[in-house]
């Protein structure tokens, strides 16, 4: 099995290293990841500037893959179109430092990289590890749990292009309570901006950390994760609102 590994925290991020270690048990792993952190990059891609690419070695001096001075989705596109020279059997994105659940799925570069893989009809899995202030991120354990979930997904022989979003709860909550499949929550997060004046007299705003989701609908990814479950959410990238589309067809459009 040939696996493409990417992320949005950058190729030197510890979460990627930990997940690579686990994925090598499944087959060969090549990494194409951003040269620098790209958190909240969403599904942005680079059109007007070049993507500088450099080979990167692992801790043992062996070729690990390529660092790309671009976005997570750029990495996947470039890997599939140019760098790998073959179509991988699986694309994994992560392990992200911080969960990607609810509407954060849309802001996430980690998930966008997986969506880009699904565009090309390759099964793609985004993996994220919940962060809580009081508890250090244990990437090693998070990657081990991610690999277990990936293994279970692969056992079911998903159709090519299947897309999954996996979140691992913070271990602050104690032992993982199990795995739950759940839909994406859609409520907006509470957020605040700090308003300040810069040394040149210009006003600026700076987004604070989100304060959690005031409306974690029961039986969604955000609520299951909060309860200490690993969450698995199958995703798709057709944003059409099919119900509303049916309503519209009844409208008279002159």
In order of 39, 163, 215, 224, the CA distances from 189 in angstroms are 17, 24, 8, 16
Residue number, 1 or 52, with CB nearest to its own copies:
52
Residue 139 beta carbon to its own copies: minimum distance, rounded to whole angstroms? 20
Residue number, 16 or 112, with CB nearest to its own copies:
112
Residue 175 beta carbon to its own copies: minimum distance, rounded to whole angstroms? 14
Do the beta carbons of residue 51 and residue 78 sit within 8 Å? yes
Contact residues for 210 (Cβ-Cβ < 8 A; gap 6+): 104, 189, 190, 191
Q: What would the DSSP string read from start to end of 172-203?
A: GG-S---EEE-PPP-PPPP--EEEEE-TTS-E
In order of 142, 180, 226, 247, 250, the CA distances from 253 in angstroms are 52, 44, 45, 12, 9
Residue 233 beta carbon to its own copies: minimum distance, rounded to whole angstroms? 6
Residue 79 beta carbon to its own copies: minimum distance, rounded to whole angstroms? 11
Residue number, 57 or 236, with CB nearest to its own copies:
236
Residue number, 146 or 165, with CB nearest to its own copies:
165
Q: Which helix (H) or strand (E) holds 144?
A: helix 139-155
Residue 136 beta carbon to its own copies: minimum distance, rounded to whole angstroms? 20
Contact residues for 26 (Cβ-Cβ < 8 A; gap 6+): 1, 3, 90, 147, 150, 151, 154
Residue 40 beta carbon to its own copies: minimum distance, rounded to whole angstroms? 5
């Amino acid at each position: 099995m040939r696996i493409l590994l990417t992320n949005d925290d950058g190729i030197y991020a510890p979460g990627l290293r930990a997940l690579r270690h686990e994925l090598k048990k499944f087959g060969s792993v090549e990494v194409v990841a951003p040269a620098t952190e790209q958190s909240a990059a969403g599904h942005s891609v680079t059109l007007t500037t070049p993507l500088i690419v450099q080979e990167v070695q692992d801790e043992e001096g062996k070729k690990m893959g390529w660092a790309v001075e671009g976005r997570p989705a750029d990495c996947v596109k470039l890997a599939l179109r140019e760098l790998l020279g073959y179509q991988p059997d699986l694309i994994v994105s992560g392990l992200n430092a911080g969960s990607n659940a609810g509407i954060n799925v849309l802001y996430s570069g980690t998930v966008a990289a997986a969506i880009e893989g699904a565009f090309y009809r390759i099964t793609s899995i985004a993996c994220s590890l919940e962060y809580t202030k009081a508890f250090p991120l244990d990437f090693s354990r998070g990657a081990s749990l991610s690999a277990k979930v990936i293994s279970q997904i692969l056992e079911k022989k998903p159709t090519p292009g299947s897309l999954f979003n996996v979140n691992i709860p913070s271990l602050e909550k104690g032992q993982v309570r199990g795995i739950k499949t759940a839909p994406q929550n859609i409520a907006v997060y509470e957020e605040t901006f700090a308003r300040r004046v810069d040394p040149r007299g210009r006003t600026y705003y700076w987004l604070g950390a989100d304060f959690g989701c005031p409306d974690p609908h029961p039986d969604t990814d955000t609520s299951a994760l909060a309860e200490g479950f690993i969450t698995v959410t199958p995703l798709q990238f057709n944003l059409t609102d099919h119900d509303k589309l049916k309503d519209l067809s009844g409208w008279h459009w002159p």
